[in-house]
A and B are shown apart, each in its own frame.
Chain A
């Protein structure tokens, strides 16, 4: 990020607001909040230059709990409002908090366009696969057939996968983490902050009230090693409690398959190496079916491309270099006549 400057070292406490946090006890949001507050001082951004923007939903209460500038806006529109903030003042470090409903249902359109424009904002999507604040209806990431208050006989919608949606929208930074994984959250937040463009982070977040345990299959401490695959650029895509499983390409179908190192002549050399600039690989990693495959976390995709704000600033600078504003002249432009 271009706006990193040396400043007095801030601490986590500096980013804690005086407002009572009103999420349900045990909510995954607490863990994310604590990690974000911890990472913020590491950004080296002047305190007053940090802005958090959100839409509507449980996750969108986030800005109230951050001691920064904050704007709790309307349902789904946070990316568009954040874009206005960034265009107005490119020095600001602009962060968006959204949820699966806010970001992919009512606000799917704005999310898509923010991603393709590559405006320099950081988007945290808390994905709990349920509507929390409206008390438990299925969301656009809820699994097909999920029984909820609004779908007693099962959700008839097929879900969208946020990370692969983002890749499909030509996002330049797509990462994924689990709410309780402090280390990984820390890593991807810092990476996102340094990325000059839209950074999209999908965070699996447990809703204790309406969808408790939704991610236990891979998020639970006992399952994590076996069922999560931490993608690291330049390193083989290896996972498993024994660190002996890996992904490789089935050359006949061009699909991924799980191979066990040491079985059937498979060695580490046969395993795919993560290339975070390869959007096709990132897409495949994002969409691996669980539990046949592990859940990929970490930075799935990252590639620099000129950001929207950079391009706009360049155009404005070019216009200003070419034309010296003269309002009187502008008003009298075109055919004129004098009486």
Chain B
């Protein structure tokens, strides 16, 4: 996806516009520089222009880290193209660095020959020192090999907004829109949608709105006036399936999935949560969806959050909770209760870097073994994982569907990369979504709370308020035949095996493992799970273009595995499992299928780059 120029068209001003297949752009600046807004608005305009795209923000854990420091740098990357896009891209083709600290932390990622736009107005001796530069890097060979576009954005912004008469402090805060205006000029985007956004966002502060609009136009005008038309590009619209599209992030999709589950099942949701990065946005989104049958409950801690959900499930609502690493650890005991009492429950784990507090704003896939095994006693749990931001919607529906059908908790794994990343999403037709059937027991004849459906082994959902079904449940082991407390050794063994068989039996409803790309047999299968989807998909696609016999499959159902997975693995000479951990899925595969699957891991709090996986595929194929 390099910025390789193709024969271009001529734009209105008469200068040559180079046509690109796609580009990766990163905006980086101080936390207070508004880089997330800039990135989001650039994304909206790009989506409207018809490109396929994927985005990823990278922001510090601190809310307002000291200005000018490297740990206060906030970034936003977008990959957009005239073809399918699966990841936010590896190395940026264009880096916008709003201050020295942004250049210091992001400069090394910029492609050689890439376009580096810097705000020289922020390269003051003080800022240089804060960023750890002894000399101004713009005056040294540090920027050799890049196309440097050094502009005093601060000064240009102040001059663009001067006529509004706003204070210089406020004027200075319009820098991001000036920069966005310039980027819009470079890629030929319409200003209209952003102007509308500014006007609605700052409706109560018309002067600020006016200043930001002037800044945006000022950046564009700078592009027109300055002798920089050789930096002007066009990325044609991508050929995508017909439909209505919107941009969607993983947490947003998860929240929509929860609301959809309430609507599709006709059973309202009680969503218990405790604020935690990076899961909190699910709570925020859902708290606005009360009309859709979702009641959100912000509890006193993670334990209470899962408990309130369990209580709601017991009383006949869909109990759902969401958290991340440390919060999931706290919920563990209560999950055991839901497993033992066989109540439906969905636990969403938006994984982050760990252990302990770890890397709250970074991504990782290191909770898989915890999800599958991490409870006291034999406590089997169904574990699913979403592969892309939009997929979070569908896998949330799946988690609910299985939880109510099998009367059991289901854990859905997403991660910080999915949660905060975004992609265009084709809005599904509600009529095409899966049905979620819920049956409540009402017949007292022959009832006991652990009477099982012979096919699914699930127990009846008998809720308080139902006449004739009075009963007690609890965490103490219960008799297979009556549901009453039982300490009988044979009964415990029978119940343990029954609980395990119930989860294992979900395979009857789990779709067979399909191939994402390539043949269903051959030399190498790259098998992934979760948010590595895009990077693996693209790396396998590139490898296949180079003639390598490699295929990609992506596991969404991790416990139990799809029933054909073991057989599928045997049809490949080698299996490579890239994961953002130290090798967890690979352990499960080896244990389950006794296959010599090979592990490829990365544990830096950052997603895989396409290049890294492509390179690994090349190595494996050559070895």
3 nearest interchain CB pairs? A84-B311, A72-B474, A88-B315
Chain B 450-494: CB-based contact to A (< 8 A → 1; otherwise 0): 000000000000011111111111111000000011000000000
A143 interface residue (CB < 8 Å to B): no
* Complex A-B: 27 CB contacts under 8 Å: A48-B465, A48-B466, A48-B469, A67-B470, A68-B470, A71-B341, A72-B474, A73-B310, A77-B334, A81-B310, A84-B297, A84-B308, A84-B311, A84-B312, A88-B316, A109-B300, A323-B291, A325-B293, A327-B292, A328-B429, A331-B428, A331-B430, A333-B246, A334-B247, A335-B48, A336-B427, A337-B47
Contacts of A51 in B (CB 8 A): 315, 464
Chain B 316-332: CB-based contact to A (< 8 A → 1; otherwise 0): 11010000000000000
Among B114-122, B256-264, B379-387, B521-529, the one that faces the other chain is B256-264
Contact yes or no, A85 B292, CB < 8 A: no
A5 interface residue (CB < 8 Å to B): no
B241 interface residue (CB < 8 Å to A): yes
Contact yes or no, A63 B474, CB < 8 A: yes
Contact yes or no, A88 B270, CB < 8 A: yes
Q: A309 to chain B: closest CB distance in Å?
A: 10
Chain A 197-214: CB-based contact to B (< 8 A → 1; otherwise 0): 000000000000000000
Contact yes or no, B256 A330, CB < 8 A: yes
Contacts of B429 in A (CB 8 A): 328
Contact yes or no, A64 B474, CB < 8 A: yes
Contact yes or no, A80 B193, CB < 8 A: no
A54 to B289, CA, bound (A): 31
Contacts A69-B464, A74-B337, A88-B270 given; indicate if A64 touches B485 (C-beta within 8 A).
Answer: yes
**Which residues, 168 to 182 on A, are CB-close (under 8 Å) to B?**
none
Contacts A325-B263, A335-B247, A337-B244 given; indicate if A72 touches B476 (C-beta within 8 A).
Answer: yes
Contacts of B314 in A (CB 8 A): 71, 81, 84-85, 88
A254 interface residue (CB < 8 Å to B): no
**Which residues, 208 to 253 on B, are CB-close (under 8 Å) to A?**
240-247
Contacts of A49 in B (CB 8 A): 464-465
Q: A52 to chain B: closest CB distance in Å?
A: 8
Q: B318 to chain A: closest CB distance in Å?
A: 9
A316 to B262, CA, bound (A): 14
A64 to B53, CA, bound (A): 57
- Give the interface SS of chain B, mostly helix, strand, loop or mixed: mixed
B549 interface residue (CB < 8 Å to A): no
Contact yes or no, A72 B472, CB < 8 A: yes
Contact yes or no, A325 B291, CB < 8 A: yes
Contact yes or no, B315 A84, CB < 8 A: yes
Contacts A53-B311, A72-B472, A336-B427 given; indicate if A84 touches B272 (C-beta within 8 A).
Answer: yes
A336 to B468, CA, bound (A): 51
Q: B315 is contacted by which of A64, A89, A327 (Cβ under 8 Å)?
A: A89
Q: B275 to chain A: closest CB distance in Å?
A: 15
Q: B51 to chain A: closest CB distance in Å?
A: 11
Contacts A64-B485, A71-B314, A335-B48 given; indicate if A87 touches B270 (C-beta within 8 A).
Answer: yes
Q: B290 is contacted by which of A72, A319, A335 (Cβ under 8 Å)?
A: A319
Contact yes or no, A80 B470, CB < 8 A: no
Q: Which residues of B contact A (CB under 8 A)?
A: 44, 47-48, 50, 193, 240-247, 256, 259-260, 263-264, 270, 272, 289-293, 295, 297, 299-301, 303-304, 307-317, 319, 333-334, 336-337, 341, 427-430, 463-476, 484-485
Contact yes or no, B245 A339, CB < 8 A: yes
Contacts A77-B304, A92-B464, A322-B291 given; indicate if A113 touches B243 (C-beta within 8 A).
Answer: no
Contact yes or no, A339 B50, CB < 8 A: yes
Q: A336 is contacted by which of B50, B245, B290, B469 (Cβ under 8 Å)?
A: B245
Contact yes or no, A89 B465, CB < 8 A: yes
Q: Which residue of A lies closest to B272 (CB)?
A: A84
Q: A63 is contacted by which of B193, B289, B290, B472 (Cβ under 8 Å)?
A: B472
Q: Which residues of A contact B (CB under 8 A)?
A: 17, 19, 46-49, 51, 53, 56, 63-64, 66-74, 77, 80-89, 91-92, 109-110, 112-113, 312, 315-316, 319-320, 322-325, 327-328, 330-339
Contact yes or no, B427 A109, CB < 8 A: no
A216 to B290, CA, bound (A): 53
A241 to B311, CA, bound (A): 47
A47 to B465, CA, bound (A): 8
A11 to B467, CA, bound (A): 17
Q: A98 to chain B: closest CB distance in Å?
A: 13
Q: B230 to chain A: closest CB distance in Å?
A: 30
Contact yes or no, A315 B337, CB < 8 A: no
A319 to B316, CA, bound (A): 22
A127 to B202, CA, bound (A): 57
Q: B269 to chain A: closest CB distance in Å?
A: 10
Q: A71 is contacted by which of B244, B246, B290, B472 (Cβ under 8 Å)?
A: B472
Contact yes or no, A80 B304, CB < 8 A: yes
Contacts of B463 in A (CB 8 A): 89
A335 to B247, CA, bound (A): 7
Q: A89 to chain B: closest CB distance in Å?
A: 5
Contact yes or no, B247 A339, CB < 8 A: no
A336 to B47, CA, bound (A): 9
